[in-house]
Amino acid sequence: GQQLNQSPQSMFIQEGEDVSMNCTSSSIFNTWLWYKQDPGEGPVLLIALYKAGELTSNGRLTAQFGITRKDSFLNISASIPSDVGIYFCAGHRGSTLGRLYFGRGTQLTVWP
Amino acid sequence: NAGVTQTPKFQVLKTGQSMTLQCAQDMNHNSMYWYRQDPGMGLRLIYYSASEGTTDKGEVPNGYNVSRLNKREFSLRLESAAPSQTSVYFCASSEGSWYSNQPQHFGDGTRLSIL
């Protein structure tokens, strides 16, 4: 079943504000991925993290692989209306433990 | 850059009808996946295929069958559709074996309604 707890479930912010969301688990993960899903489309990979403590940026997006390996964080700076969508975290526990696990998503709404 | 292509994009079925959802990827990926997405539930894995000719069950396989036709194509079949199968279905693919940590790349989904 679902092993990733993603929060918050939804956010309503004003354009220009910064956004933070996170994903936690009781299990250790070797890889953390962050996806964005625009309305009516499939999830698109934003950032991939492969080492504990790793901090990676993609434009205004910054994600971190928690040092405990049980969590990850995504920050969006200076939000704009096109940031609207659902953000998913996903984690991989290692080669013997197979598949990717997904969080339930954070719905982001940005008001102009 | 097509990536992962799913057809159809929308479909309405009556209870008991059968249907096959098609998926093709042009990235030469070994592994392919089928997910369903329901409100508040996130993405749930239905079936996956580690390589051509192999398939395995995911979290929610009941009521579905799959075929890995070749390296590019992975289809999902509903033999007797039920209203509980109303959902958005996503196909995905990844480089390397299914147990590797390579990111999965998704299609745009098939929105399926069963009346």
Q: Which residues pair with A34 in a beta bridge?
A: A47, A89
- Chain A interface, mutation test: which of B48, B101, B102, most A Cβ atoms within 10 Å? B101
Would you call A87 an interface residue with chain B, using a CB distance cutoff of 8 Å? no
CA-nearest residue of chain B to A41? B108
- Distance, in Å, from the CA atom of B67 to the CA atom of B53, rounded to the nearest integer, reads 8
pLDDT at B99: 65
pLDDT at A96: 57
**Side-chain-side CA neighbours of residue B68 (13 Å):** 20
Measure in Å the smallest separation between the Cα of A15 and chain B Cα atoms: 25
pLDDT at A46: 96
Contact A75, A20 (CB under 8 A): yes
User: What rounded mean pLDDT belongs to chain A?
Assistant: 92
Residue in this structure with the two tokens 């940590």, named with its chain if needed: B101
pLDDT at B102: 79
pLDDT at B12: 97
Instruction: Give mean pLDDT, residues A9-37.
Output: 95
pLDDT at A40: 87
CB contact under 8 A, A105 and B42: yes
Q: How many C-beta atoms lie closer than 10 Å to residue A53's C-beta?
A: 11
User: A66-105: per-residue pLDDT in tens?
Assistant: 999 999 999 999 999 999 999 999 998 876 556 788 999 9
> What is the Cα gyration radius of chain B?
13
Q: Which residues of chain B have pLDDT under 50?
A: none
CA-to-CA dists, residue B63 to A77, B25, B43, B84, angstroms: 43, 24, 17, 10
Q: Which two tokens mark B20? A: 């096959």
